[in-house]
Amino acid sequence: MGNEVTDGRVVRAENMREQRRAEILHAAEIVFSARGYHNTSVADVIEAASISRGTFYLYFTGKDALFLDLIDLFIGRVIAVVTRVDPKQPNALSQIFANLRRVVDVVFDNRHLAVLVIREQVGRDPALDEKLHRLYGFLHEMVEGALVNGAQNGLNRSVNETIVATAIIGAVKEVFYQHLVLDAVQPVDREAVARSLFEFGLRGLLIER
């Protein structure tokens, strides 16, 4: 049937499929972020994407799967820009700030997805729970590790790293969320947001100042 050969038409078909899928994801991103998971129906998504009900189920196994794909998309983009920082390096601090700065960019470049991920909460859907747990677990582990390493290397004073890591993530999330809402009205000064967060966290953690 010729499907062993990946000829031009097959490639083109695959591309179109990918593109269509992306279109639906994009439309869904907007309606989900506007109304939340529960208040968004498949009807809303297909209307926003200008596709038929059937087509939707051609690209996604269901509403849940679509949502999880969106979450994954965002998580992937965040994780992609976060790099491990060696606390022994003299420029460790600026590397940490660079991480934060890149995350700020990802968040504000993906406003809808970011709102979605920050707002949507543990909601009795085990699969979604697991995704978010993975994201926050990753971030928490990274921050906590940085705190522990930093303390050992004289970069920061010793604190209850678990609690403080949680506090930092909460602070960042909340600032992001509030500014994402504001951002819809007027563009946010990303540098200022990153700088303020960094300063706030840092000045409390440094031994020397």
Q: What are the residues binding a copy of itself (CB under 8 A)?
A: 1, 34-36, 38-39, 50, 119-124, 157, 159-160, 163-164, 166-175, 177-178, 192-193, 196-197, 199-205
Which of 11, 171 has the CB closer to a copy of itself?
Answer: 171
Binding of residue 16 to DNA (CB under 7 A): yes
Q: How far, CA to CA in Å, does 13 sit from each of 7, 16, 57, 208?
A: 10, 5, 18, 60
What stretches of the chain adopt beta strand conformation (E)?
none
CB of 180 to a copy of itself, least distance (A): 11
Scanning residues 40 to 99, which ones bind DNA (CB under 7 A)? 40-43, 51-59, 61-64
Residue 20 binds: one of a copy of itself, DNA, none (C-beta under 5 to 8 A by kind): DNA
Q: How far, CA to CA in Å, does 6 sit from each of 2, 20, 22, 100?
A: 8, 20, 22, 42
Nearest to 156 by CA among 94, 85, 93: 93
Which of 11, 122 has the CB closer to a copy of itself?
Answer: 122
Which of 86, 199 has the CB closer to a copy of itself?
Answer: 199
* C-alpha–C-alpha distance, residues 28 and 34, integer Å: 10
Residue 137 binds: one of a copy of itself, DNA, none (C-beta under 5 to 8 A by kind): none
Query: Cβ distance 156 to 205 under 8 Å?
Result: yes
* Residue range at the interface with DNA (CB under 7 A); choices 35-43, 92-100, 104-112, 199-207: 35-43
The CA angle 33-104-187, to the nearest 5 degrees, is 70
Interface with DNA (CB under 7 A): 1, 3, 13, 16-17, 20, 40-43, 51-59, 61-64
